[in-house]
Amino acid sequence: MKVVIVGGVAGGATAAARIRRLDERAEIIVFERSGYVSYANCGLPYYIGGVIADKAELTLQTPEGFFERFRVDVRVLHEVTAVDPARKIVMVKNLRTGGVFEERYDALLLAPGAKPFKPSLQGIDNDKIFTLRTVEDTFRIREYVDKNRPASVVIAGGGFIGLEVAENLRERGIDVTIVQSAKQLMNPFDPDMAAFLHAEVVRHGVQLMLGHAVTGFESNGTKVRVRMEGAPPLTADMVILAIGVQPDSSLAASAGLALGLKGGILVNERMETSVPGIYAVGDAVVVKHFVTGKDALVSLAGPANKQARIAADNICGRDSRYRGSQGSSVIKVFDLTAASTGINESTARASGIDADKVILSPLNHAGYYPGGKTMTMKVVFERGTDRLLGAQIIGYAGVDKRIDVLATAIRANLSAVDLKDLDLAYAPPYSSAKDPVNMAGFMAENLATGLVKQWYIEDEPALPRDQSVTLLDTRTEAEFRRGHIDGFVNIPVDELRGRIAELDPKKPVYVICQSGLRSYIASRILCGYGFECYNFAGGYRYYATVKNDACLIRTSTPCGMDQPED
């Protein structure tokens, strides 16, 4: 059997190694148009910033090493220019010599990945404008920064690459501005959770221009002027385009393979395309989203590697199936860690799902053990069924651990209430006896059983200030003085029973505290006295961060609301 693989990064390299492990006699040829194979895409921004000092660390394998261990013929700087499914051949161009030749195959695997979206804007071919996809792109950016010592950079796009490059260039002392057409960074997160990311990047000196699309570029002496919609132009020493990616599916299209969402290659559960014997994996393929069941493009290394293994199995006569992607991801944003899995609240509602959520701010480990750090968790589930839909967590420590637990729970079809029963490891330096994931389950159970009713940040503008309801803040007097929501009265939770007569039991009570815990206790006290109570989802710490962010987006300046830790 002769297998030809187009693309030698995550999907292609993984598939080649798996095929060899399953079939010692197969002839395997990998064509990679860049000069490197099996390189660490996710590490590229960190070489630009100098965190990864040695460029050799970016390449996990070399063509020589691949052949030595796996007897795989890896040919870099070879571009497959056409596929003829009827004759089972590919046309290949040797980018070193310019020569063109045919290569026959019995099975063909396409792993071309995704390419940076480069819109047709005036001036976009300026030599001070860069994109980041390959090792060569990384070297060009690093070389430009080392040689020219730019003082400023505009990054168009606020996704994974844009944010990671922003951090690394900022750490090198460069003034960084992120321009993003959406009014938030990192679309996997809901706007309220993205507020924590905005605060962090601004705290580290990054300027955000959110809600502004780039409309063109022009040279300005030794600099680049970036024109924007709805804002004055910016001038910088260099520009990096990180607007997004699109499936690199032109080869598949020209071969007559069926395409789907945004030009992605359509595949079945076996990763087989519309043409028998041709498989495709990675960022270029359309998959089913595990939560919604809808078509999705998921440009992440984890799914690409899993798909490659499945395609390799099926090429070798086994029967493996890909059950869908749920988009689990994690990113370092200066001192913060941000992670998500499944779908967010915005996507759920856009998909017609009646979503509810719990928002909590637990410490990463036991409070009495030194060094505990607060994280913010948002767990989204379907109202009525409690089906887990997704989760987002932002914090300083323990974030990756919790998101992986929640990702596993979604994959296992657990409900939000089932989280309370998970038996998770505990020791004071690592967690609490009631882990944050368990706490999310307890909160979901309270909602499911009617023990607690919630009100949300989006409800606040409409809350009556006419004394028809009671607006109650149960934090300490000192916390209340540092910042509170207009119209709320302050009765600390520990004084509530003694001051219950100050409240009218005929009026609904909307309660808030710093993190949601004290207001929950207050709600139970008030319910015991016959009051109708609604507990705020998230606490004042969360509320202040989101409201600060609204000012940041509107004026590019935070409101300065106090955000003390609980």
Torsions phi, psi for 548 (to 5 deg): -60, -40
Query: Residue with structure tokens 């080649």?
Result: 16
Q: Would you give the distance in Å from CA 122 to the centre of its chain?
A: 30
Beta carbons of 300 and 160 less than 8 angstroms apart: no
C-beta of residue 165 within 8 angstroms of C-beta of residue 156: no
pLDDT of amino acid 39? 73
User: For the segment 2-19, what is each residue's pLDDT rounded down to a tens digit?
Assistant: 999 999 988 999 999 999
How do residues 504-537 score in pLDDT, each as one tens digit? Answer: 999 999 999 999 999 999 999 999 999 999 999 9
DSSP 8-state class, residue 566: -
pLDDT digit string, tens, across residues 464-491: 999 999 999 999 999 999 999 999 999 9
Interatomic CA distance for residues 249 and 285, integer angstroms: 8
What is the identity of the amino acid at 125? D
Take residue 360 and report the two structure tokens written for it: 């909590």
Report whether 311 contacts 15 (CB < 8 A).
Answer: yes
> What is the spatial distance between Cα 35 and Cα 55, in angstroms, rounded to a whole number?
13
User: Rounded to whole angstroms, how far apart are CA atoms 61 and 9?
Assistant: 10
Question: Which amino acid, one-letter code, is at 273?
Answer: T
- Distance, in Å, from the CA atom of 136 to the CA atom of 121, rounded to the nearest integer, reads 24
Q: Are 355 and 380 in contact (CB under 8 A)?
A: yes
pLDDT for 548: 87
Best CA proximity match to 542, nearest among 426, 330, 377, 380: 377
| 533 is a catalytic site residue | no
Beta-bridge partners for 286: 266
Residue 564 has pLDDT above 50, yes or no: no
Helices (H), 449-538: 477-482, 517-528
Instruction: List the catalytic residue out of 42, 527, 551, 559.
Output: 42
Per-residue confidence band for 566, with pLDDT thresholds at 50, 70 and 90: very low
**SS3 labels along 414-441:** CECHHHHHCCCCCCCCCCCCCCHHHHHH
Name the percent of the chain in helix, strand, coil, to the closest 5.
35, 25, 40
Which residues fall within 8 angstroms of residue 457, CB to CB, at 6 or more apart? 192, 536, 537, 538, 542, 543, 546
* pLDDT at residue number 554: 62
Mean pLDDT of the chain: 94
Can you say how many angstroms the Cα of residue 335 is from the centroid of all Cα atoms in its chain? 16
* Per-residue pLDDT, 339: 98
Instruction: Compute the average pLDDT of residues 80-108.
Output: 98
Distance CA 286, CA 252 (A): 13
Q: How much is the pLDDT for 22? A: 98
Which of the four pLDDT bands, split at 50, 70 and 90, describes residue 42? confident
| Side chain identity, residue 114 | A
Q: Are 533 and 509 in contact (CB under 8 A)?
A: yes
Bridge-based pairing state of the strands 114-116 and 245-247: antiparallel
Instruction: Give residue-wise pLDDT tens across range 211-263.
Output: 999 999 999 889 999 999 989 999 999 999 998 889 999 999 999 999 999 99
Q: Are 357 and 378 in contact, with CB atoms under 8 Å apart?
A: yes
Provide CB contacts within 8 A for 84, sequence distance 6+.
Answer: 90, 91, 255
pLDDT at residue 118, rounded to an integer: 83
- Max CA-CA distance within the chain? 90
Burial tier of 108 (Cβ tally within 10 Å: 0-12, 13-18, 19+): buried
For 333-366, write each residue's pLDDT tens digit. Answer: 999 999 999 999 999 999 999 999 999 999 999 9
* Average pLDDT of span 136-158: 94
Q: Which residue, chain included where needed, has tokens 């503008």?
A: 461
pLDDT of residue 424: 97
- Which phi and psi angles does 471 have, rounded to 5°? -105, 115
Residue 204 burial by Cβ neighbours in a 10 Å radius (0-12, 13-18, 19+)? middle
Q: Which residue has the tokens 């009631």?
A: 434
pTM (global) more than 0.85: yes
Could you tell me which residues come within 8 angstroms of residue 432 by beta carbon, excluding any fewer than 6 positions away? 362, 363, 365, 366, 367, 426
| Integer Cα distance of 3 and 85 in angstroms | 14
- Segment 31-41, tens digit of pLDDT: 999 988 887 77
Contact 541, 566 (CB under 8 A): yes
The CA distance from 204 to 167, in Å, is 9
- In this structure, the strands spanning 207-210 and 265-266 are unpaired
